[in-house]
Structure 1
Amino acid sequence: MLNFSEASNSMAEVRVLYRSDDYYITLHYPINSVGQTIIVAFDTIDGVYSEKGFGVNFCLANNLPVIFVSHKERTFFQGVSKKLLYNILHPYLIGKDVVTYGSILGGYAAIYYADVLNARAFAISPRCSADPKFKKKFGKNNLDENIFLHDFLSTKNNGKQKYHFFTYDPFNSRDDYYFKEVIFPSLNGSFKVLELPFSSHPSAPFLSRKVNLLKPLALSFFQGEDIGLLSFISPQASSGAKSLFYLNIDLDTVLSKARDSFADGRWEEVASLLYVPLIFHKFQSEEAAFMLAVSLLKEGHKKELILLCRVSKKFNYIEYKQATSLAERAMAGKNYIDAISLWECIIKIYSKFPLGVYVRLASAYIMTSEFKKAEQVLEQCLDINESFKPALDLLDRVASLQAKKFTVSIREIAKPSCYFRLGTKVDGTIVRQKELYNLKVMGWAQIKKGDVSAVAVQYKNKISYFSFNIERPDAVQFLVTKLGLNPKELSSRCGVKVAQELGEGAKFGFCVNGKTEWTHVLSLTPVAELVKGRDNWLFLANDQNCSVDQFTGKLLLDEDKKLAWCSYANDFYEVSKKFNALYVIANSKERVLPGLYPFSQGVEILAHQVENILSDSSVNVVNPVDENSKNIQSYYETDTHWSDVGAFNAFKLCMKAFGYNDEFDVFFEFFGREVVGDLGSKLTPPVSSIRMTHSLRDKAKGSVKCVFDNKIKKTGSLEINLNETAVYEKTVLLFGGSSLKAGGFARYFSYFFSRVVVINLPGSIVKEIVDHECPDHIIVQTNERYLISPGRVYETVVGSPLVKSFKMMSQKELLNFVESINELDDESESYYKKLFGDAALSFVVK
């Protein structure tokens, strides 16, 4: 065994073994050297071209003789062949236990020269960026391709190698590739690998400064000890590979350093300290788990975050207050990006936390205009508690923000050097907020043949480029006819299509051969979406269905629409001959409460026209306008939908039309609840009002169980409710829109019927589902403002709008949907699992 005592660096003999224009090799021999070990240390990639560098002082401090192989910057040791180095060093290595030692390029050299020097190699983050295999994967560097003179490492050496040791960060893609694809295939002897997740490149600073283990690790290897037996090293039991190891460090040893790194936002550093202790050694610490989760999320390591969440959930972490305090601090400082990360990690790590966390996360998403994500978070919250008022109110707010309308203006701010026309079709149009996520702007320009031209778009501190690649012979003709240009000089591919997220202040530029002229800017003018009536009652306005014009009689059915309604009425009647079907109109609020509306009703209105057509075709229509007009509480000030009272009145009319004469009022009582509503949420700040809400007097009637929910939002949603204590052992099939669930309209049927199927498809029927259910009753509901166009009787699900949401999904979202629907428990609804699963798969690109 060697005795490594401290010694002064000055107490060593120094001898120059070789020197050229690019390489400098020196021997440092401590006066107090003992044992037979000698270290050959290799310079790093930057090259010091000096007698001292990487590893020299360390070796001398421990009385180890060391040969330092130095080079000039970025020569990559290519001028030192194995034979040359052997000839230089051999006289000094006779009878010695030789260890090659290096980091990064020096680590590569330690491996490359180990066989010719009959050495054991200790390599930290080894890689050679001049290696052609590395350059092919990651691109070229400043080194000329033709000067890589070394033999390739990625084939096994014929001779038996000595024991080697490697340490690197497997999450550094370049280091991981080089080790697995270049170094590992070359190994032909025993070796061990210490993986240091998130320690970055190189890993030496982490080992020496963060965990103070480089010295005992290196000295143990130099001494010839088995690395795998060290107390601070443990095998990766889960990997099954005997050669792979992690550090075995107590969490308390690194926790204070992790806190400092977390406070400074050094996310990778936090991960390097906490990942192995928490994930693989299963240390329990709510604080550490939260810090690691934030760090992994910030660094984009989603798989590792999922793994952490699985481990953390087993420990039932519930002390969330410190984490929520950090998140609230970020919110108060308007640092919403950080706040999102913090709220997300609270949800992922802790087993118990207030539902308000979901609302705060959604609020942060709203502040960054990520409305779809906000909606998803709120729906996740409502899956836990469907009546959680803050989530319901904010969901209304999100819906209003996404539906918010703007008039688009694309204004020229500078004359381009050549003819450039942009956005003439979209300029002046009205778009919704959600359409701005992928707004399409068309244009064309004077493009000379041979020029490389594009439209530059600057938005949210990011510049994107869209090439002129659309054939526009009409534009060329214009340029020739109007401007007298030579057609032979013009490219016919002069059209462009911009399609990306755009918003207020987005700039457009004309880019030719790398030079950009910023010529246009986009601006948005909000469009009023509501009007105030008497007593501050709010009503919808400027909607695509022209609600105001429908009510005043300015908008009526033309002859084509009348024919379309007649055709639909006949199709509906054919269905109703076999099944007891009703057509239910959820009235517009202004129709029910015209005295509160600021406009007068026309003598003839569109709704009257539709009702007459349906009546003439013997369609059974339920129109609760008269019943709801008797009670102002059937609607409420800040929403377009009926309240629970209004929905209940419509329910009773349906039951009467079906032939049920029970006294349904005795089952319910109603109370006021303050809500924002879809109109109140359009104001800033949002305003609320009192909505009448129902409750059951006999709770036993409420034993309704949802056995199937395809989790599709809005059009395409399908939910099945069963009631074992129902009064009527019958099936009701409901097709409709938002008013099915608004006011509990569909819910009322679930209290009294054993099976209720609720499908979001306003005003239409799908015969495939009707034939499967063979329902006792069918209800087809639509909102009055939708009467501008008739619904349809569709033959199949795939041929109907029920699959509309699938068309908007990405391939990953489609596959996730199929997986989630197949995981639903109730096998009795296997028909719908297969129906919607197959429908989603039909949109997956093979």
Structure 2
Amino acid sequence: MNSLSVAERIEGRSEPLAEASARLEKGDFSGAIALLEPAFKAGDDSSDIVEALMRAYDGAGETAKHEEMMAVALQASSQPSLKLAISYAELAMTRKEWPVAAERWQFIIDHCEGFPHQVYVRQARAWLAAQQFSAALHTVNLGLEKQPGNPVLSDLKDVIASRKAKKFQLTAQQLAAPITIRWEVDEGEKRIATLESFRHYRIRGWIDARQDQRPELLVSAPDGADSLALTTLEPSTPSQEAGWTFEYGFDFSQDLTLGVRLKNGRVYECLRFSLAPVMEVLEGREGWLFLANDTNASIDQFTGKKRLDAEQKQQWQHFVDGIGPLQRQRSLLLLIANSKEKVRPEYYPYEKASITPTEQVEKFLQAEKIDYCNPVAAMQAEPDSYYPTDTHWSGRGAYLAFIACMRHFGFDDDFASLYAFEQREVVGDLGSKMDPPAKSLSTVAVFREESGVYCRFSNYLPGTGNITIFENSKPIHARTLVIFGGSSAGAGGFALLFANVFQRVVVVNLPGSYVHEVVEHEAADHVILQTNERYLATPGRVIKTLAEANLDHAVQAVPAAERVKLLQRMSRYASCEPYHGFMTTLLAG
């Protein structure tokens, strides 16, 4: 802004502005620019000048300057134009400048009132294209808070979660060069891991070059090249040649080439690295999809190749020894969320072994008279208890598990009169791994009555360590339920089925575990320890406090910027102790 008074500025620009407006009407965009640019460059960034210049640059095809004026107009206004802000963001989307686009969508979320939910979808797609999966999930979750059950956001969430969890294996191609680089993975790294894990992935290497060649390690990536120092490798025997070694963390999320530059200036490309996707979906009969190459080795469990080893058996014995006394003190049930291949073996391309980890675990539970529920027979009896494009049970399957638990707890209500069932087309966590994503019909359980359920608290932590509390202002039973579960606790609305009938439901993502502090604080009437069948190789834990759950590992896996956002979202709720204080300490640490 210049130092002229408002009156002087209006008087000084009125004639050129009027003439420029006339030229704009005639389509003389260059003439309008010639009249308006000097005023703008002199410091007159009034809305009239900026808007007129914006029209002139657009008409003249000067895209960069038009976009610059859009930015000026948006930043200068206390109530930015929603239409203009969306156009500004879409320009970056068109150019595939994904982080820039995401920032522009964020401007709309922060400054524009009444924006459509599609803004969340577009920002999430921008973050997804930029492979910033945590940020994309954060955006989708914000959108789902505004519109719970929105099908576009729900499907997009599945796609993002699958991309985030997608597994890769690092491969290297030796290139024709007179110098060889040998390499191996650092002992602390997994050879099959997610894209995030490969963003800073340590390897060790050796280069067979003479001492007098004094090589440097060259690292070439799409965004540029760099050189790194090498360490002299002294020969271990008199006959061995000296060489060079290195150990660094590299970003293998993009193609990367390692080479050597010698003292004489010669450069050789030696190794070209890339990530090979690992097959995660097994296509069964009639379009049914199943999990493959997961860390729990689902196929090997089903076929009996992987069973409990001696250490795992000892762990299970220790676990049932701890659960037994608790179950005699309170209403406690261990629930197994069945693996899909156990429920629908007719679609699975492998034969089930007579003994799998499930049968081994059941033997421990039965020997110690532990109450547990394995609802596989009930699930098999209902064709829509699971569906083709997801690992988890459907709303029907969740309802069957809910009924089994409620009957175990002694309730004989007519629950069939409380719930109706609808079919909806969804992507699912397996369908989202296909290209393009595959959809199938899933059955959803719908509460017939007017529900009094609302979310009392959530720490919004993704996965392990998530704590969500539902309260009901119109409960059928004034009871409190605590669920220690995994992903199936939310699948098909499982926890919400209980929330519709109980007064308070506390869900803690610690599959199959038991935390004394939580149960005692809640004075829980009932407790469910839910675990997915493929997790049975390792039992849960019986611990005294949340601090013993070591959730700091789960929190540290979330990028620092996302932890700040999680803290902000959690703080929207009125303080809910001890959970609020516990998570505030973790997230702020």
Q: Find the partner of 1:710 among 445, 453, 459.
A: 459
1:837 aligns with 2:574: no
Give distance in 1, aligned partners of 2:105 and 2:402: 41
AA aligned to 1:826 is A
Distance 1:596 1:484, change over 3 A: closer
Distance 1:560 1:211, change over 3 A: same
Give distance in 1, aligned partners of 2:137 and 2:569: 19
Could you say which residue in structure 2 is the equivalent of 1:693? 444
Deviation at 1:596, TM superposition (A): 1.7
Distance 1:805 1:265, change over 3 A: farther
Could you say which residue in structure 2 is the equivalent of 1:369? 131
1:824 aligns with 2:585: no
1:747 aligns with 2:499: no
**SS of 2:425 mapped into structure 1:** strand
Is this contact kept in 2: 1:362–1:378, CA < 8 A? yes
Give distance in 1, aligned partners of 2:325 and 2:262: 63
Give distance in 2, aligned partners of 1:572 and 1:464: 56
Distance 1:532 1:579, change over 3 A: same
1:459 aligns with 2:221: yes
Could you say which residue in structure 1 is the equivalent of 2:411? 660
1:211 aligns with 2:46: no
Could you say which residue in structure 1 is the equivalent of 2:509? 760
Is this contact kept in 2: 1:716–1:803, CA < 8 A? no
AA aligned to 2:401 is A
Deviations 1:480-520 (A, max 9, x none): 456244xxxx78xx4322233433x3111235668753211
**SS of 1:744 mapped into structure 2:** helix
Give distance in 1, aligned partners of 2:563 and 2:185: 36
Q: Find the partner of 2:468 among 719, 735, 759.
A: 719
1:508 aligns with 2:255: no
| TM-score for both structures, normalised by structure 2 | 0.85
Could you say which residue in structure 2 is the equivalent of 1:254? 50
Give distance in 1, aligned partners of 2:573 and 2:281: 44
Deviation at 1:601, TM superposition (A): 1.0
AA aligned to 2:572 is L
Give distance in 1, aligned partners of 2:282 and 2:173: 30
Could you say which residue in structure 2 is the equivalent of 1:175? none
Q: Find the partner of 2:379 among 628, 632, 651.
A: 628
Give distance in 1, aligned partners of 2:41 and 2:167: 61
Distance 1:666 1:429, change over 3 A: same
Could you tell me which runs of 5 or more consecutive residues in structure 2 were left unpaired when the two chains were aligned: 4-35
AA aligned to 1:509 is G
Could you say which residue in structure 2 is the equivalent of 1:683? 434
Give distance in 2, aligned partners of 1:373 and 1:813: 7
Give distance in 2, aligned partners of 1:348 and 1:824: 16
Q: Find the partner of 2:519 among 757, 770, 788.
A: 770
Deviation at 1:762, TM superposition (A): 1.3
Q: Find the partner of 2:182 among 421, 433, 446.
A: 421
**SS of 1:633 mapped into structure 2:** coil
Is this contact kept in 2: 1:466–1:496, CA < 8 A? no
Deviation at 1:688, TM superposition (A): 0.4
Could you say which residue in structure 2 is the equivalent of 1:17? none
Is this contact kept in 2: 1:643–1:743, CA < 8 A? yes
Deviations 1:156-178 (A, max 9, x none): xxxxxxxxx9xxxxxxxxxxxxx
Deviations 1:87-127 (A, max 9, x none): xxxxxxxxxxxxxxxxxxxxxxxxxxxxxxxxxxxxx99xx
Deviation at 1:646, TM superposition (A): 0.4
Q: Find the partner of 2:113 among 329, 351, 355.
A: 351
**SS of 2:437 mapped into structure 1:** coil
Distance 1:657 1:409, change over 3 A: same
Deviation at 1:458, TM superposition (A): 2.0
Could you say which residue in structure 1 is the equivalent of 2:234? 476
Deviation at 1:362, TM superposition (A): 2.0
**Larger displacement relative to structure 2 (709-718 or 645-654):** 709-718
Deviation at 1:333, TM superposition (A): 5.8
AA aligned to 1:251 is S
Give distance in 2, aligned partners of 1:727 and 1:718: 24
Q: Percent identity?
A: 32
- Structure 2 counterparts to residues 394-409 of structure 1, below 5 A: 394-409=156-171
AA aligned to 1:423 is E
Distance 1:663 1:791, change over 3 A: same
1:785 aligns with 2:534: yes
AA aligned to 1:707 is R
**SS of 1:692 mapped into structure 2:** strand
Is this contact kept in 2: 1:766–1:795, CA < 8 A? yes
Give distance in 2, aligned partners of 1:708 and 1:551: 38
Could you say which residue in structure 2 is the equivalent of 1:555? 306
1:526 aligns with 2:277: yes
Is this contact kept in 2: 1:440–1:500, CA < 8 A? no
**SS of 1:790 mapped into structure 2:** coil
1:432 aligns with 2:194: yes
Is this contact kept in 1: 2:184–2:203, CA < 8 A? yes
Deviation at 1:666, TM superposition (A): 0.8
Deviations 1:387-411 (A, max 9, x none): 0111111111112222222332122
Give distance in 1, aligned partners of 2:266 and 2:517: 59
Is this contact kept in 1: 2:215–2:262, CA < 8 A? yes
**SS of 2:429 mapped into structure 1:** helix
| TM-score for both structures, normalised by structure 1 | 0.60
Give distance in 2, aligned partners of 1:780 and 1:838: 26
Q: Say how many residue pairs are matched.
A: 555
**SS of 2:478 mapped into structure 1:** strand
**Larger displacement relative to structure 2 (643-652 or 573-582):** 573-582
1:799 aligns with 2:548: yes
- Structure 2 counterparts to residues 11-22 of structure 1, below 5 A: none
AA aligned to 1:663 is D
Deviation at 1:807, TM superposition (A): 1.9
Give distance in 1, aligned partners of 2:213 and 2:564: 43
Deviation at 1:467, TM superposition (A): 3.9
Deviation at 1:833, TM superposition (A): 1.4
Aligned CA-pair RMSD: 3.4
1:737 aligns with 2:486: yes
Deviation at 1:259, TM superposition (A): 5.1
- Where relative contact order (Cα < 8 A, 6+ residues apart) is larger, the structure is 2
1:611 aligns with 2:372: no
Give distance in 2, aligned partners of 1:666 and 1:639: 27
Deviation at 1:739, TM superposition (A): 0.5
Give distance in 2, aligned partners of 1:668 and 1:318: 45
Give distance in 1, aligned partners of 2:280 and 2:545: 36
Could you tell me which runs of 5 or more consecutive residues in structure 1 were left unpaired when the two chains were aligned: 1-123, 126-164, 166-207, 215-246, 275-287, 293-307
Distance 1:423 1:463, change over 3 A: farther
Give distance in 2, aligned partners of 1:268 and 1:330: 10
Distance 1:521 1:391, change over 3 A: same
Deviations 1:204-239 (A, max 9, x none): xxxx9642786xxxxxxxxxxxxxxxxxxxxxxxxx
Give distance in 2, aligned partners of 1:756 and 1:830: 15
Deviation at 1:421, TM superposition (A): 2.3
Could you say which residue in structure 2 is the equivalent of 1:68? none
Is this contact kept in 1: 2:67–2:88, CA < 8 A? no
Give distance in 1, aligned partners of 2:204 and 2:64: 42
Deviation at 1:371, TM superposition (A): 2.5
Give distance in 1, aligned partners of 2:458 and 2:50: 46
